[in-house]
Amino acid sequence: MQTSTRPLTAPFAARRAVRGTAIYGEPMHGTIPRELDPAGAQALLTALFEPGTDRLAHSRGVGRRAEQVARVLGSPDLLVSAAYLHDIGYAAAALDTGLHQLDGARYLARLGVPAELTGLVAHHTEATVEAAERGLDDALRREFPEPAPELLDLLTYCDMTTSARGEPVTVDERFERIYDRYPPDHLVSRSMHSAEPRLRRLVSGIERRLGLPFR
C-alpha cells in the first residue's frame, strides 16, 4: 500500500498536548492516537464509539473494505484512515448539526486533522444532497472544499457496499436495508432516493475497475 503524498503526522503537535484530557468540553474515552494512519484512525474510532454498536461495526467494516480496495488499486493510506473515520460525526462527542458528514469533519478539524482527510469525511456518500435538505450545503462547501473525486468515490463505494453491521453487501442490499430502516418520508430516505442514480453509477464504475464480484 502506498503512503499518502503528504504525511498525516505533521499537524498533530497540538492534539498530542491534550491527549487523555477533556477536549472541547467532551471527555475523551481513552487517549487520542498519535497519528491518523489506519491504526491511529482505528484507535480514535474505538475511543469515540461504544463497544458493540452498529456504528462501530459499520465503520470497521468500511475500513476493512478500504484496505481491500487500497491493496487492489494501490490507493494511499489516506483512503483507509478516512474510511475508518467517515461516520465519526455520529459519535456523541461530535454531534452538532445532525449532518454527520459535517459534524465529523468539524470534529476532526478541531483535532488538527489535515484538510485532505476532513474533506473526504465531509463529502462522502453524496453529503451535499442531505446537506441541501438540511440547509447546510453552503456551510459544508465553504468549510470543506470538495476533494478530488478519485479517493472520495472510492470511500463512497466502500460505504455503499458495507452493511450497517459491517458486512460486505451489494449496493442493492445496501439500499434495501437503508429504506427498511428509515420511513419513506424520512430525510435520510429522501436524500438516498435523490442520490441513488449517481451512487449506483459510481459503484458500478468502481466494481468494473476492481473486477466483479468483489465480496
Residue sitting closest to Fe ion (CB): 159
By CB under 5 A, residue 103 contacts Fe ion = no
**Residue 23, H or E segment:** none
By CB under 5 A, residue 159 contacts Fe ion = yes
> Measured in Å, how far apart are the chain's first and last C-alpha atoms?
20
Report the half-sphere exposure of 63 (CA within 13 A, side-chain side).
24
Calpha distance 95→88 (Å, rounded): 9
By CB under 5 A, residue 87 contacts Fe ion = yes
By CB under 5 A, residue 116 contacts Fe ion = no
Q: Is the peptide bond before 33 cis (omega within 30 degrees of 0)?
A: no
Return the number of the residue (93 or 192) whose C-beta is nearest Fe ion.
192
By CB under 5 A, residue 126 contacts Fe ion = no
By CB under 5 A, residue 67 contacts Fe ion = no
Neighbours of 92 (CB within 10 A): 11
Return the number of the residue (15 or 117) whose C-beta is nearest Fe ion.
117
**Which range touches Fe ion (CB under 5 A), out of 37-45, 82-90, 112-120, 135-143?**
82-90
Q: Which three cell numbers stand for residue 104?
A: 465529523
Q: Least distance to Fe ion from the beta carbon of 58, Å?
A: 6
Closest CA to 83 of 58, 102, 46: 58
For residues 14 and 126, the answer to whether their CB atoms sit within 8 Å is no
Q: Least distance to Fe ion from the beta carbon of 20, Å?
A: 28
Return the number of the residue (116 or 159) whose C-beta is nearest Fe ion.
159
**Which range touches Fe ion (CB under 5 A), out of 76-84, 153-161, 190-198, 203-211?**
153-161
Q: The cell 459544508 sits on which residue?
A: 140
Return the number of the residue (15 or 93) whose C-beta is nearest Fe ion.
93
What is the binding site for Fe ion (CB under 5 A)? Answer: 87, 159
